[in-house]
């Protein structure tokens, strides 16, 4: 667990009142696991005073700005605007400063991807957090198949 002062890479509305925020997050792709979360501070003033917990939707790499630089590591958070803290978050743009504390939590206990079989089920917005687990599992296992039911 580390505290990172970092920047917003993007913040897009993906559905009415739902946003996906991509944040520069060095070292998170090595540390973060499906099922973990971060505590996010959106500004250094007193309002909103407390950090907010957000489940990590995805961790990954972006291409580097130039050939001699390493790729940029990022995490993505999905959030719904419901109060003052998330209302402030929806106004953040590329380059704005934030603080991340994490990754926190134990994450999912997954077993050996080559031997285990499992079912994933989620409803509503919780489905979004299962997506990272499904992507991770598919990358670890050959011949994995999945589907959805609505």
pLDDT at 5: 93
* Tokens at 32, concatenated: 């973060």
pLDDT at 30: 84
pLDDT at 35: 82
Q: Along the chain (150 residues), what's the average pLDDT of each consecutive run of 10 residues?
A: 91 94 91 89 73 90 84 93 91 94 84 63 59 64 53
pLDDT at 1: 74
Query: What is the tally of helices (H) and strands (E) in the chain?
Result: 3, 6
- In 45-96, DSSP assigns E strands to 52-62, 72-80
Fold of 2-108: Elongation Factor Tu (Ef-tu); domain 3 (2.40.30)
pLDDT at 80: 92
How is residue 72 annotated by DSSP?
Answer: E
User: Cβ of 105: how many Cβ atoms within 10 Å?
Assistant: 16
Before 48, cis peptide (omega within 30)? yes
Supply the mean pLDDT for the chain: 81
Instruction: State how far the Cα of 129 lies from the Cα of 126, in Å rounded to an integer.
Output: 6
Query: Smallest Cα–Cα separation from 135: which of 115, 120, 116?
Result: 120
pLDDT at 18: 92
Query: Smallest Cα–Cα separation from 132: which of 38, 30, 59?
Result: 59
pLDDT at 12: 97
Before 21, cis peptide (omega within 30)? no
pLDDT at 129: 61
Instruction: State how far the Cα of 87 lies from the Cα of 93, in Å rounded to an integer.
Output: 13
């Amino acid at each position: 667990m580390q505290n990172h002062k970092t920047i917003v890479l993007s913040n897009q509305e993906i559905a009415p009142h739902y946003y996906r925020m991509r944040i520069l997050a060095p070292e998170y792709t090595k540390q973060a696991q499906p099922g973990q979360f971060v505590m996010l501070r959106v500004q250094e003033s007193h309002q909103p005073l407390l950090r907010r917990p957000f489940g990590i939707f995805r961790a990954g790499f972006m291409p580097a700005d130039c050939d001699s630089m390493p790729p940029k590591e990022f995490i993505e958070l999905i959030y719904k605007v419901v109060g003052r803290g998330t209302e402030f978050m929806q106004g953040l743009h590329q380059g704005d400063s934030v603080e991340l504390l994490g990754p926190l939590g134990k994450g999912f206990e997954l077993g050996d991807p080559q031997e285990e079989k499992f079912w994933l089920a989620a409803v509503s917005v919780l489905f979004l957090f299962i997506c990272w687990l499904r992507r991770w599992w598919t990358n670890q296992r050959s011949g994995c198949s999945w589907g959805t039911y609505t």
